[in-house]
Structure 1
Amino acid sequence: MNWSFWEIQSWFSNVDFTIVGSGIVGLNCALHLKQNYPKAKVLVLEKGILPQGASTKNAGFACFGSLSEILEDLQSHDEETVFQLVQKRVEGLKLLRQNLTDTAIDFKQHGGYELFTQEQSALFDACLGQMESVNELLHPLFKEDVFVLKENTFGFQNVQNKFLYTPFEGQIDTGKMMEALLCKVQSLGVKILNNVVVEGYSETNTGVVIKTKDFEVSTSKLFVATNGFASQLLNETVLPARAQVLVTKPIKNLAFKGTFHLDRGYYYFRNVGDRILFGGGRNLDFKTEETTQFGLTELVQNQLKDLLKNTILPNTPFEIENRWSGIMGVGSQKKPIVKQVSNNVFCGVRLGGMGVAIGSLIGSELAELLD
């Protein structure tokens, strides 16, 4: 690439901190670096026109985990670890709202519901049997019962006639959140370059040389915030997990507001005004959905449409307006990886499908690794 003198001086000279990935984690890392080092030159490299991965493609759930998800976590993590996971999600959501304001992200606390199919009566009973103990575990965080029982008043079919409900769950507008975050970091002087594919890096005595598809740039410190794509640059145990999503056209007299979890969180839906946004289904074929390729499959899309027709909107006509996918980063452990990789390289990855909840906090923790 043959840069002009002006381009070299403004964008590529004396770069203090470079961040790979302009999603929630990357931009929050940039935000905190700028707040901690106001005179530093901070450069963000993003491979997409918009942030790739899941930051602009998620369902906009301001959640911390349904009861069945928390109980599943308790099977592979001790109580203290699970408490810390939920605590991070709660703190992360608080930080997101403080940084950007509820108005800017269109935050609405309609509450969250967990549904169980008719075939899941054993799972439902198990959740009811352990609800009190989980409420006790989480009481120091919420100061009251997190989960309670509610009747099915929304007309859903083929599910248990009672739901688990939490008043503490909310929803946001994902697009507005990312717009607000982009505006905030750019107002502080952070430089963002899109359509830049980072292929690798090498460390020198004075910093890091980043090799992209089109050019190289030197930086003092490198921060990798690519979540589901992390294994392309780092030797970390992060697996990609594709999530498929659809949204309906407006539905007249839509009967519910809120965020809803089904089948241990593998399916999730919510209202977006008078539309329904519905996603999930990767548990139908984990291997196929363990990919960094965006795309849709008939298996998942047909199941989403079938659940809409027979469970969520029985006897209500609907049309699907849009379908898309996002790439998350998961692993055998739910705890994110936030660490110093080498002398001048740091990473904040593996958000486990909780990017909205913990992305702000992980970004700030990534920036704090410099201290």
Structure 2
Amino acid sequence: MTVSIWQQAHQKREAAYDVIVVGGGIVGCSTAYWLGRRAPSLDVALLEARTLGAEASGRNAGFVLQGTHADYRTDVERYGKRTARRLWQFTRENRDLLAAELRGSAFSWRADGALVAAGTAEEDERLRTSLPHLRAAGAPAVHLDAEETNDRIGASGFHGSLFVTTGAAVNPLHLVQHVAAKSGADVHTQHPVEHVRWGETGAVLGTPDRHFRAPRVVFALGPALPELVPAVSSVVRSVRAQMLATAPADAVRIPVPVYSHRGGFYVRQREDRRLLVGGGRHAHRAAEETSRDATTPAVQATIERYLHTHFPWSPSLGIEQRWSGTMGFSPDGRPVVGRVPEHPEGVFATGFTGHGMGYGFRMGRLLADLVSANETPEALDLFAASRFEDPDAKQAGAAPDRSRPTDS
């Protein structure tokens, strides 16, 4: 963005704040929101390189699910029962805070539950055997057999499912915009941070037109984080997701969000009866390990094949739009939170592994507490970057990811 000589005269070349949040997605906007709630006297700036929700937070399907990107049995096997339970409870808090704190009509809040559907008999067995663990964690879930599952969503070929009554869906872009508007922060869009200069009293962040100074900085970024904090490049990598939207169907046929094939596919029907469908990356992993924003015929064909196979009434619906988005994936599937190495006045959060809507609002509260409180926030240990410093934990975190994380 260029600035004329007339505009320049009215702009401060350097602005000072108490806290600067870098990143205008769900996590950054939520951090600004909770900073305003925790300490209304704080002068907070939110810097976004493009527009609010320009990246993953405005390109996903708007699922607000509980748990991680994987099924609960996988979480238990990977993290242990206690950690899996705490992760589920953290994301349940995220869902409940969205419902309690915000005006749902501003972002098309729907809380009719969600269906985790099995694409194979083996997956259905995993879902069914995870049910006791889920209920022990407080999850309101029931198992549906193949007939019940397919009847409920007008589908064919699913082997069973878990119906989770607390699943929800939103318009993700409107949610981000609403949270930012309610934060009370000074929102500066079209301000890409090009460099960070650390000093004894905090940091100066340089954008093409201005400098911003603050004693504390929060980096709420995905794959772009290493550009500003190179020391943490090992904890996040860029992965692309692709989606499509159909023309409106003649009726509401899919009443709740559907997440299937171990996160490999997902579909929902909007209020305007259009279907949003995404996934397919697990069949094209190498090609989708990229930061390039582009759709590909191969992945789009995989998504369409899924849609037409499991929803046999859908082939008559034309495809109105196709898009992609890049997300930050962590080494072990959990978000990563920490302090900037050698600069503890800076904190970062990244690596939401395609599940940012499930974590983001609650994560903003955690980051606000980390910045403004003298004590360690509750649940920080679930996401602490220090887990990768322990050789044993690092080895476990680097284990092959057998799940198929999505960008829902």
CA distance in 2 between partners of 1:228 and 1:321 (Å): 28
SS in 1 for 2:58: coil
Aligned to 1:219: 214
Structure 1 residue 334 displacement after superposition: 3.2
> Which of 5, 24, 27 is 1:25 aligned to?
27
Structure 1 residue 246 displacement after superposition: 1.1
Structure 1 residue 40 displacement after superposition: 2.9
1:7 paired with 2:2, answer no
Aligned to 2:189: 194
Structure 1 residue 303 displacement after superposition: 0.7
Give runs of aligned pairs for residues 187-266 of structure 1, distance below 5 A.
Answer: 188=184, 190-234=185-229, 235-236=231-232, 237-266=235-264
Structure 1 residue 203 displacement after superposition: 0.8
| Offset from partner CA, 1:151-199 (integer Å, 9 cap, x none) | 1214422332x333222212112233123213212xx2x2112222222
TM-score scaled to structure 2, two decimals? 0.81
CA distance in 1 between partners of 2:69 and 2:286 (Å): 26
Unaligned runs of 5+ in 2: 374-408
Give runs of aligned pairs for residues 111-260 of structure 1, distance below 5 A.
Answer: 111-117=113-119, 120-128=120-128, 130-138=129-137, 141-142=138-139, 145-150=140-145, 151=148, 152-153=150-151, 154-160=153-159, 162-185=160-183, 188=184, 190-234=185-229, 235-236=231-232, 237-260=235-258
CA distance in 2 between partners of 1:31 and 1:66 (Å): 24
Aligned to 2:83: 81
Aligned to 1:101: 103
Structure 1 residue 68 displacement after superposition: 6.2
CA distance in 1 between partners of 2:325 and 2:352 (Å): 13
* CA separation of 1:8 and 1:133: change in aligned 2, threshold 3 A: same
CA distance in 2 between partners of 1:39 and 1:131 (Å): 46
- Structure 1 window deviating more from structure 2 (30-39 vs 346-355): it is 30-39
| Offset from partner CA, 1:343-370 (integer Å, 9 cap, x none) | 3211122222221121011111111112
* CA separation of 1:98 and 1:126: change in aligned 2, threshold 3 A: closer
| Offset from partner CA, 1:42-100 (integer Å, 9 cap, x none) | 21111113433211111111211489622222222111111111111100111122221
Aligned to 1:350: 351
CA distance in 2 between partners of 1:271 and 1:113 (Å): 13
Contact 2:73 2:130 in 1 (8 A): no
Contact 1:308 1:314 in 2 (8 A): no
TM-score scaled to structure 1, two decimals? 0.89
Contact 1:53 1:228 in 2 (8 A): no
SS in 2 for 1:7: coil
- Structure 1 window deviating more from structure 2 (176-185 vs 200-209): it is 176-185
Structure 1 residue 214 displacement after superposition: 4.4
Contact 1:66 1:261 in 2 (8 A): no
SS in 2 for 1:26: helix
* CA separation of 1:66 and 1:214: change in aligned 2, threshold 3 A: closer
Q: Percent identity?
A: 25
Aligned to 1:271: 269
| Offset from partner CA, 1:191-211 (integer Å, 9 cap, x none) | 112222222312111110213
Give runs of aligned pairs for residues 304-323 of structure 1, distance below 5 A.
Answer: 304-314=303-313, 316-323=315-322
Number of equivalences: 358
Contact 1:149 1:163 in 2 (8 A): yes
Structure 1 residue 229 displacement after superposition: 2.3
SS in 1 for 2:11: helix
Unaligned runs of 5+ in 1: none
SS in 1 for 2:76: helix
Structure 1 residue 103 displacement after superposition: 2.4
Contact 1:66 1:264 in 2 (8 A): no
CA distance in 2 between partners of 1:361 and 1:30 (Å): 12
Paired AA for residue 44 in structure 1: L
CA distance in 1 between partners of 2:133 and 2:221 (Å): 33
SS in 2 for 1:34: helix
SS in 1 for 2:196: strand
